[in-house]
Amino acid sequence: MARKDQNENNKLGSEQGSSPDAPEDRSRRELIKGAGLVGATALGAGSTAVIIAQESDSGAGPRPPAVREALEVLTAAEAETLAVLCGRLIPSDQHGPGAQEARAVHFIDHSLASHNSNWREQYRVSLAAVDAYSQQEFARELIQLGDEQQDSVLEALQADTVPGCSPGSAAFFNMLRNHTIDGTFSDPYYGGNRDFVGWDMLNYPGIRLTASETDVAQGADLAPNHQSAYDHDTYTKMASNMASGRGGGDSNA
């Protein structure tokens, strides 16, 4: 879905609150970059921090449709609504791509067809409720709204004021936020983080089975290798053994 460059008047709430002296133009992308990979993992582990985009563009109205991909369980209409929500949680901006380019929706769809299948009904009910709320408040579908209005729908979700969501709109918001983060920053093997855009956003150089002294010395300046964990035989064999019941441990695939 095409997006305008976002302005720099981004605001981001947090569990700790924001300092009155904090600059108001610090974008969510900058916060994620500052948090690093550990911080992103913490956000995905149940933090109640507000991570709704506050930047907006003034042009409301229909937007060009997103490039369609084959879906496993989501309907085309559900995927369009979900793409808007994910795209406003981690938007593309002047610094680079966001959740839509990372294919967070593809990641979520794949997970709902596999290890997150028990949440499929919650997505079905809640995405329909989001569209109904958008029609009620703005007389248009969510995909047709401007950024500011889309953000207001997300804020209503988080405030638990969107009726009809399962098990409630705040609970759905938290699940959606966590899955969007997972789909943007997890290993590309799972269907998201396309072209490693999430890892590049974090300046994460990628998985390395060994690290030389030179690698360690380079630190954040180490060039990314753009390799999935499953590009390495060690991980591929481990996953194969676990799938066939020959290995121990829990699988997240």
Average pLDDT, the chain: 74
Tens digit of pLDDT for each residue in 195-207?
A: 889 878 878 777 7
187 pLDDT band, cuts 50/70/90, is confident
Domain coordinates of the chain in residue numbers?
Answer: 28-202, 205-253
Compute the average pLDDT of residues 48-59: 38
238 pLDDT band, cuts 50/70/90, is low
Tens digit of pLDDT for each residue in 109-138?
A: 999 999 999 999 999 999 999 999 999 999
26 pLDDT band, cuts 50/70/90, is very low
What DSSP string describes 198-215?
A: HHHHTT-----S---HHH
Position 216 scores a pLDDT of: 76
Tens digit of pLDDT for each residue in 163-175?
A: 999 999 999 999 9
CA distance 185 to 172: 20
Give percent of the chain with pLDDT exceeding 70.
64
Q: What angle do CA 83, 89, 90 make, to 5 degrees?
A: 90
Choice between 60 and 118, residue whose per-residue pLDDT is larger: 118
